[in-house]
Structure formats: structure tokens, C-alpha cells
Structure 1
């Protein structure tokens, strides 16, 4: 009998949704009553006799047999086993949620020791609850009734906390709803925990995939109603760049990364694009909630990968709201984070608009009695409800919320980066200093010594004066070269002009062969013109009054729309929610300095003693 047939028979015999069996003659209690010397072999028998879906977790992801051998070789296997037997881990005593907390606390401690990347392992439960509440806040009518099925997906699912809490929230709203959970996870231990949870809660464990989501999409062609995730912050994707860039270049928008790729040092926006590619096209559409750090909001200038991704999302009108969270919420980082909410089924009143909510202030957090690593704050239930109320009501400063909620048109986040040129003005002089510069010019260095001497003689024969016109200097140079019978090539001529010139704002403008002013690259500047402004009006208002000779390089155009200036998008929370903080009184600063000076003096005395 093959494994598949045996599994089908045994799963059928078990009944229900739980698809787990064990063919070993041992149970945990029986193991405890056996000879301690046989414990290792008995445990191996117990573990390897589980059904294949569990065996994969124990052996391949947690490497249990390797760990058991290490404990045996260290002579502590029985001691560890006895201590575990004394702990009551029954679901009646410890819920799945509490078990998740236990596991994640262990992960947190070990990640601190191993200096894991910030945000790579798990998300505090109150943050997950906030994301879930925001996702379903306005879906009452869609979730009401019988026969409703909702598919939930997390591309970096970790231990499955986001999936589990989303299912719980949906079930609380409508107990008859059917929730199907999907996910993918790269970390073996986290994947094992998530898959185990799927097994014991009656979900299909095969819908939780192992591997890197960005380089290998295990749920290709699948679409989901709700997607939520906390991808790792600031983690590079260098190891997978060949596959990712190949997909972006060859498939474009038929693949997942058609909008562009961010810098190699941070893959957060890759995860978000991946999730967008899995939005449903039906009437229900999809909703996305993702928590990221500040980098995806503003990193990258116009035409960069990050800016083009933001442009694509905003111009497609998928971004519904962004919520700034308090700092010090996560276990191994204190950085500022943001929840992005996206949907491809915006209600009419939200179309073309984006709501920003600044929930970083003291109103939305409280200090914890005891810190957990870097986590010193938490979002209480009432604050979470307040954030959801502001979002669901699409508030824009109403009811005293002007300091925490603002609504903008999509175009408010866009700008055109125009290139502003100023004319090149040079004077020319034959001096020892400038002739010395000529000696380091490569075209001149390559000449024979005799040729160098001839050119230097020509230069010394030029009038001893400052030329404020390049045309006049070139004419004098050409006449002197002809008179001395010396011929030079174009590269050498350019080297002479470069070495003997200096910028001079009082000199004449240098022009090209068509009589047009030449731009001075050192004076080149780029202005960011709001998308709602006409760049011509902007230049007349903001540039010309200060530099009347400036002009816009109209060949510097956007690759997508062909218009003057490159389009960029950024979302700057500090600009929109700036709060003035007055400086401390001088008396207070002076008093603090005197205290510090006294402390330093005391330390110096101790050293000198």
C-alpha cells in the first residue's frame, strides 16, 4: 500500500477536518514510563511514525532527530523531557493564541542573541488586530449572509498570526462564513509552526507553502479577497535578484514586478507588488493591509524604481489610506512603521483620494509595564477602535481630528522634476597657474615633448589679458597658431580651453554653433514642481525672479508620458503633520550643562587621583 492510499484510509477513519495520525506504539505518557536509556530511540520512533504532513515539520523544518541526538550526546535528554512532561500545554489550559505568544517570545529572545534583522520574525498582536479591523471595517454588506467564502493570504506568514486573527475576526462577524487560509514562509521553524496550526485547526496545510515568495510564487495564478503581511524591513534581495529582475524585464505587467524594482537593499515594495498581482477582478475585489517602515513612502527620486512603483499604485487609485503607527511597537526594533491599505474596489467617495492618519501620538499608545526587547509601547483596544473609527468615517479633520486625519487628492503626492539650466560664462587667461593645469590634461599629456613646447610658445605669445568672451579667445588662439605654423587637433584645443578658463559671472555667455546659450553643468539645478502646477508658471514664479537668465531643458522628459520633466511620487508624513516643538528655555539648557560639567570634573578627579 503506498503512502497516499494509506493516508486517505487513515484520514477517513479519523474523520473531521484534522488530518493527522501516528502509527507508533508510543504516546507521550508511555514514553515517560519507559527505560530512560531507550528514550532517544523511542522518541525517534514516535516522531517518525507521524503522518507525512507532520513528519515533514518535525524532521525537515525543526530537525528534531538532530536536536534529540545533541541532547542525548550532552547527557540532558531525559532532564529536558521530564521538564516538558511537567508543563500542561493542553489546549484547554493554553489557547492557540497563548501558545503563539510563547513561541514568539522564544523567537524574540533568540533573535536578540543572533542579531536578527528588525521586523523579520513576527508582529505584535495588537498591530495585527488593527490591520484586520481596518481591512474589514467597511465590508459589512459583503460579509453578511450565508454561503460566503473568503480567502485570506499572507506572503510572509511567519507563524500564521495574521492568518489566524483574520479568520477569528471574520468568524466573529459572521459565524457561518467559510475562511480559507493561504500563506508562504521562508523561515523553516516559523513555517513549521504555521503548518502545524493549520493541521490542528482543520485547515488545509498544503495551502501554507515553504520558500521565498519573491523568487518562487507557490500560489501562482491564485487570487484572494484579503491579503495582509509584515514583510521584513530593510532586508536585501540580492540573492534572488536574477530571478526577480528577469521576471520584471521579460514579463512586465504580465508578471508581478512590472512597475519596477526598488533598490537591492530593501524588498518591501516587491512584496507589495506581489500582493497587488493577486487582487481579484470580480465584483468583491480585494483588500490589502501591509505594515512597512518609512522607506517605501519617500525613498528614491523621480523615475527611480521606488517612485515608479508608488506612481503606479497611486495612479491606478489602489491606495486607500496610510496609517502612521507609534514607535517602539515591535520586539526588535523601535522604528516608525506605517500600515498601507489598498483595494481595487474603492467606494465612490474615496476614488481619486488618499486618507492619511497620524496615529503616532500619545493619544494612540500606552507604555508597557515591562518592556519586551525594543517593544516599550502597545496600542490599547480603545485606541485601536479610535483609529478604525477615523478610517471608516473617512474623516478629514472633522470632529477635532485635523491633527491626525487628512485627505488628499492622488495628484497631491506627485511632482515633475524639471531640469533648470543656467548659461556658461567663462573668462580666459594665460597664466602660470592655468598653464600648469594644462599639463595634467590627458590629450596634452599624450603629445611629444616638442609638440608641447610649440603649443606653450603659442600660448605665451597670446595677449597678456583676460578674455571675457570665449569666441574672442578662440579667435586669438587660432590666429596665433596660424602665425606660428602650429597645428593642433580638436581634443588638444578642448584641453587648452578647459585649462585656461575659469567661471566668471561677469563674462559673456558661451554659445553653441547655433548661437544658443550653453548650459553650465555646475549651475544645473532640479526643481520639483507639484503635478497640479504648470511648470511654466512655476518657473516664472519661483525661478525667474532670482535667476533671470535660467531656462528649462525641455529635452529632459518623462519616459512614460513624454512631457517635460520626470514624474515622481512621494508621501511625506512629516510635511503634512508637522508639529512645532518650541526649543527649551536657555536657563534649562544652562542648568543641564552645569550639571554635566560637574559630573565630568568629578570623573577627571577620579582619573587623576
Structure 2
């Protein structure tokens, strides 16, 4: 391309600085982003401008008006485009400069002269408000003049859509940095998008066939980077593919930029929905072949909670969120469930299937206890054999966070050799240091700039080769130094390897009992005892006061009876002590309720492993909550891919329940009872969980340095410090 995108970025940013005064730096974006879009459209349409106006005059002379006129004009003026794009105003940027006093009115007229799809874009920018403000502050003419400078090369022939995306990415990052906002809400680094796209389309044979029709969707599309890069990756190898791009975005500014980019590429703007994906699915009746997304992670979904929970409760698996809901502090996995609901039926079910790439932080790998949480979401995905691969990315890769991130590849059209398995790729050392950091972004995955080692191709090779134990040349750490080394970067596991049984191990409750002054003092803390002196009557009336007084008298009588029975005698059997306590309280009136007697027994007890077992109504040992433990047990080797755990026996699950029970009992006998003989498993509490400890599988142990080397280093530092101090002293 003719234009240097960095030069364009710098020129536009220099123009932005001319807004200082009426605008603060964080507000520059309100002007600069729509002006950049507007000038790009102006340059694109200038060659056909005179012909369009002539056609308009001819149609008006024929008596055409309103919608009919614009429908005919859209067909004729757009010259073979699928999407109408034209401007019927007499103005261009250059012509507006010839009438400085009326530049505000002329600029508004220029915007209103666009085809309806462009006007909708500028309504989202809310640009007319800024035009008025610019005009009043005598900045409008200056800004239009600066954008008209031929050095600001914004024509698509000078700066293609991919490079234009980079320009917008950097401008938004700079403006957000001034506003102390998170650029990650808008953009994913282009090398990450390119990696995701290449991973998604690897092993996809159909997408490379000439004439193939495929749909691509991003539910959090921002300015459309993932859609554009996906299209570029496919078109670069199959220019005869027919691709339809779909997206949804709730940020008005990002939506407008995305739609402008789509329109310039002659893509349907109506395919980009505007609203919150979680609460108002803009494509509720559509399914897609390929989906890519970088949803907001580490962000609360409280604003969407009511709608999401209602769908989960009312529709279950017939809706988008059947398996469960994540913790309220991070709703990223909601977007993955949404995307899975958009998959075509699998080939086994008569469909074409779909493939997904989504970026997460580490939380979805392990957050959530077994049950309707992130654990159940993982379980649902893995047990349905949809999780294909997870790629660990380097840290300090995104503009607004330095944390580690992960690409999940999810598909219901796995090839035969990938079925029943999950591939883990450690690409956390596939990076090069940036010469200049951008926000929190200090690293980048090489492969998108001239002279780079092609690390993107290396990661895609690991994915495509599908070899357990495959190595790659990566940056490794040797102390404080980074050195290139060969390291295992690919592991392949069976689906079941990520599952486990959460088993509750109980031990019996053993208590001793005594009526002593110290233990009687605990009685006042028991809620059942406290409730004796409470009333449900209205506060302050006679009934309220009399009930409270009667309760306090009852409490005093109980305490008096206990104090009269103080003794050194220690009971080690609960039933025997209960009989003794019955006698102690025999003279108390009114009779002590059963729940209060139970509270008294609790207050007068202490744990004692030499005491008798406390038994329940069935004569079974009662578990001690303080001694309760939880063990994580691997799934049985001979269990099916889906392992329902429930304790309402029926013909379909009784064998599975016995299998799980026997497996857990075997674990107990091997690992627990040799050390704690009285332990048992409460099988009614057994749950299935799933987690993906990817970092553990790639851990490389490095022994600590020899003490002699550390001591020598400290000695050398001490000598250096002394030398420096002597120089200061002299």
C-alpha cells in the first residue's frame, strides 16, 4: 500500500491536538474517529460524485421522489455494489473549504446526502453535536482543512481495510490511554486475531473450495477486526469464496466504525446488530459456520443478570445458558455458551457443524465448584466432545492487561483423529519484546511484520501436526536472562483426563458433656435459647412486653436449673447425658422445648475422640462437620464419556452409580482408611467436576542455583557497593 499506516496515525493524532481548549484530550475521539471515517468515505466516492448528482437530477426530472427515488438511485449510483453507497450532496471536503462561513451547515448537508446506511452510522457517532461545538469554537474549518491535506492518505487505495483497522486500533488506544480507559474493550491485537483465524481454518477443507458459501460471526465484534482478518485469511487463499460477515456490538462508536469498514468492503451493514448480545440476541434465528470472539473478561455481568437468569431458569438447555451460570464477577463464559447455541448441527446430526475460537483469561479453566457453575459449563463442553484445543498465550500481550490469556478452539465437527481428545498448546513463550510498549502491551507474537520469525505459523503447525510431546523453539528463562531453547509445547489428553469426582469423606462425631460454669456461659450464644425471649408481636405493645418478660423468666429458670446441677462429672455418651439433662430440667416450667434442649446439649459439649460415637435416628454414626474432608478422585477408567451423577436410581443410571460408588470406595480403602480407620464416604454428596490445569502440564522444573554461586554473586555485589561508596566519600 502507498500509505505508511504509522505516518497516518501520527498525522491524525497531530490534528487531534488542535482540538485542545474546547476539548480535553480524552474527548478528542468524539471528533477524530467520525472525521476519519467521513474523510475515507469522501475520498472513496469522489470519482463518481458528478455522475451521481447528474443521475439524481435526471431521476427528479422524471418525477421520482422519496423512497422510490432513493431505491432507483441506490441501484444505479452504486455501480455493481451489493450494498448502496453514494452521496447526493454537492459537497466534498475540498468544496466545503471554499465556503468557510457556512462550513457547519454544509458539513451537515454533506452527511445527510449519504445513502441511508451511512446516515445511520453517523447517528451512532452523534456527530452533529460535535459539529456545532467545533463551529462555535472556530475549530471546524481548521479540522476539515487538516483532513483535506493530501498527506493524510485515507483512501482505500492508499490504506487497505486491514491497515485501516490498525490505524483505528492505535488511535482508540491512544485516546483511551489519555482517558485512563481500557482499550481492550475495543480491540484485540492484530497478531492474536490472525493467530485465531489461522487456527480456526486449519483442517477446514470446505472453506478452500472455490464458490463455497460460509458465514462468520463475532458476538462482541467491536470495530470488526476479527471479521476483517478472518475474511482476509480465507480470501488470500480462496478469492472465490462467498463469505457473509455477521456481528453484534453494544458500544455505539465501535459499532459505527465496524459498519463503515463493512460498507467500504461492500458487506451488509444490517448484519452488524447493535445491542447487548447477552440480553438481546441480534441474530437469534441464525447459525454460523465460524465464530471468533474476544469477550470482556474479568467484568461483572450484573447488568445482564436478570435477563440471563430468567433464560437459564425458564428455558434450560432449550436456551443459551442451560449448563449453568458463571460467578457474577466474570461473565466471559456466557459468550461461549451463546456461541455454542449458534453452531450448525454436527455432521452426525445431518448438519455441517461449526468451529469457534474465543479468547479467555485463566478463570474459565478452573473457576467454580462442581455444579451449575463454570465447572458444569466445562463439563458440558468436554463431555459433548466440543473442546478441541486450548492455546496458552504470552503475558503482556493485550493493551489493557498483562495477564496470561488463552484461546479456546471449540468445534462440533472434529475430524476422526481428534475425537474424544483435547489438545493443549503452550505458546506462552512464543513472543518477541516490543521496542516500545503500548499500555500494558510489551510483547507481541511475531509473524505479522517484515523480518519477523513466523511464530504464528509455528503455533499453527503445532495445532495442525497434532503430535503429543511436539517441541518448538521458544524463549526460556535462565535466571534473569531470556534464552532460546527447545521446549515441549504440545500435549494431547483424553477428555476424561480433565474430569474428577468431588468426594465428601466423613468422620464420626464424638463428644463429651459436662454441666460446668464455663459451658453454661455458652448457652446464651445459642439462637434457640435466645429466641425464647423474642416476640412476633408489634414492638412496644402490652402483648410484646409480656411475651418478652415471660421468655426472659423462662431463660432464667433454665440457667438456674443448670447452675444447680454443676458438677465435675464428665459424660462420654450423648444419649446418657440427654437423659441426665432431662432430669436437671424436670422442674423448669414451662417445659423446655425440644429445640432448646438440643441447643443446651450442643453448648454443654466438647469434641473428644475418646468419647462414644454420636448416632442419628437410624443408629448410624453422625458426621463431624469439623472433621469433614473433600477428596478429588479421578474418573473411573471404564466410565462412559458422559457420567451422570444422581441418586434417584432408575434403569438408566443404576449401573453407573454402582461403578462410581465402587471406584470411590476403592480410593477410600487405598488412600484414606489406612490412616483414618473410621472414615466413610457420603455418596449422596459425590459430584462430577472438570478443570483444565494447562500450566501444570507444561511445568518445567529448574533446580535452584548452587549456594556457592549465590554467595559469590553477593560477595561481588558487596565489593561493588563498597567501591561506589568510596568514590562518593572521596
Deviation at residue 249 of structure 1 after TM alignment: 1.6
Which of 166, 173, 180 is 1:108 aligned to? 173
**Residues of 2 paired with 1:11 and 1:372: CA distance?**
43
**Greater CA deviation, 117-126 or 338-347?**
117-126
Where do residues 92-491 of structure 1 align in structure 2 (5 Å cutoff)?
A: 92-117=157-182, 119-139=184-204, 141-281=205-345, 282-361=350-429, 364-381=430-447, 382-398=454-470, 403-445=488-530, 446=532, 447-449=551-553, 452-453=556-557, 455-461=559-565, 463-482=567-586, 487-491=591-595
Deviations 1:395-421 (A, max 9, x none): 111467872111111111111111111
- The answer on whether the counterparts of 2:89 and 2:113 sit within 8 Å (CA) in structure 1 is yes
Deviation at residue 134 of structure 1 after TM alignment: 0.7
Counterpart for residue 68 of structure 1: 131
Which of 70, 74, 77 is 1:7 aligned to? 70
- The answer on whether the counterparts of 1:413 and 1:569 sit within 8 Å (CA) in structure 2 is yes
Change (3 A) 1:295 1:2: farther
**Residues of 2 paired with 1:593 and 1:518: CA distance?**
64
Counterpart for residue 646 of structure 2: none
- The answer on whether the counterparts of 1:118 and 1:233 sit within 8 Å (CA) in structure 2 is no
- The answer on whether the counterparts of 2:471 and 2:489 sit within 8 Å (CA) in structure 1 is no
Counterpart for residue 81 of structure 1: 144
Deviation at residue 253 of structure 1 after TM alignment: 1.7
Deviation at residue 523 of structure 1 after TM alignment: 1.5
**Residues of 2 paired with 1:476 and 1:462: CA distance?**
12
Counterpart for residue 61 of structure 2: none
Which of 156, 181, 184 is 1:91 aligned to? 156
**Residues of 2 paired with 1:183 and 1:512: CA distance?**
59
**Residues of 2 paired with 1:178 and 1:13: CA distance?**
23
- The answer on whether the counterparts of 2:509 and 2:624 sit within 8 Å (CA) in structure 1 is yes
Deviation at residue 341 of structure 1 after TM alignment: 0.6
Counterpart for residue 41 of structure 1: 105
1:369 is paired with a residue whose SS is strand
**Residues of 1 paired with 2:294 and 2:716: CA distance?**
43
**Greater CA deviation, 120-129 or 465-474?**
465-474
Deviations 1:150-203 (A, max 9, x none): 111111111111111111111122121111111111111111111111111111
Change (3 A) 1:135 1:439: closer
Deviation at residue 81 of structure 1 after TM alignment: 1.8
Deviation at residue 486 of structure 1 after TM alignment: 8.6
- The answer on whether the counterparts of 1:428 and 1:468 sit within 8 Å (CA) in structure 2 is yes
- The answer on whether the counterparts of 1:412 and 1:532 sit within 8 Å (CA) in structure 2 is no
Deviation at residue 429 of structure 1 after TM alignment: 1.8
Deviations 1:31-78 (A, max 9, x none): 1222x22111111111122111101111x2111111111212222222
1:417 is paired with a residue whose SS is strand
**Residues of 2 paired with 1:74 and 1:502: CA distance?**
80
**Greater CA deviation, 166-175 or 452-461?**
452-461
Change (3 A) 1:28 1:450: closer
Root-mean-square deviation (CA, aligned residues, Å) is 2.6
- The answer on whether the counterparts of 2:561 and 2:585 sit within 8 Å (CA) in structure 1 is no
Deviations 1:552-577 (A, max 9, x none): 11222xxxxxxxx1111111112211
Structure 2 residues not aligned, in runs of 5+: 1-63, 448-453, 473-485, 533-550, 638-662, 726-730
**Residues of 1 paired with 2:462 and 2:276: CA distance?**
36
- The answer on whether the counterparts of 1:108 and 1:332 sit within 8 Å (CA) in structure 2 is no
- The answer on whether the counterparts of 2:515 and 2:562 sit within 8 Å (CA) in structure 1 is no
**Residues of 1 paired with 2:73 and 2:86: CA distance?**
7
The two structures have a TM-score, normalised by structure 2, of 0.76
Counterpart for residue 548 of structure 1: 677
Change (3 A) 1:450 1:370: closer
**Residues of 2 paired with 1:29 and 1:459: CA distance?**
100
**Greater CA deviation, 40-49 or 74-83?**
74-83
Deviation at residue 316 of structure 1 after TM alignment: 0.7
Higher relative contact order (CA 8 A, sep 6+): 1
Deviations 1:279-311 (A, max 9, x none): 112543111111111111111111042111111
Deviation at residue 22 of structure 1 after TM alignment: 1.3
2:525 is paired with a residue whose SS is coil
Which of 523, 526, 537 is 2:666 aligned to? 537
Deviation at residue 384 of structure 1 after TM alignment: 0.9
Counterpart for residue 525 of structure 1: 629
2:328 is paired with a residue whose SS is coil
**Greater CA deviation, 440-449 or 24-33?**
440-449
2:600 is paired with a residue whose SS is helix
- The answer on whether the counterparts of 1:23 and 1:49 sit within 8 Å (CA) in structure 2 is yes
- The answer on whether the counterparts of 2:514 and 2:605 sit within 8 Å (CA) in structure 1 is yes
Deviations 1:312-371 (A, max 9, x none): 11111011000000011111111111111111111111111000001102xx11001111
Deviations 1:118-157 (A, max 9, x none): 7321111111111111111111x31343321111111111
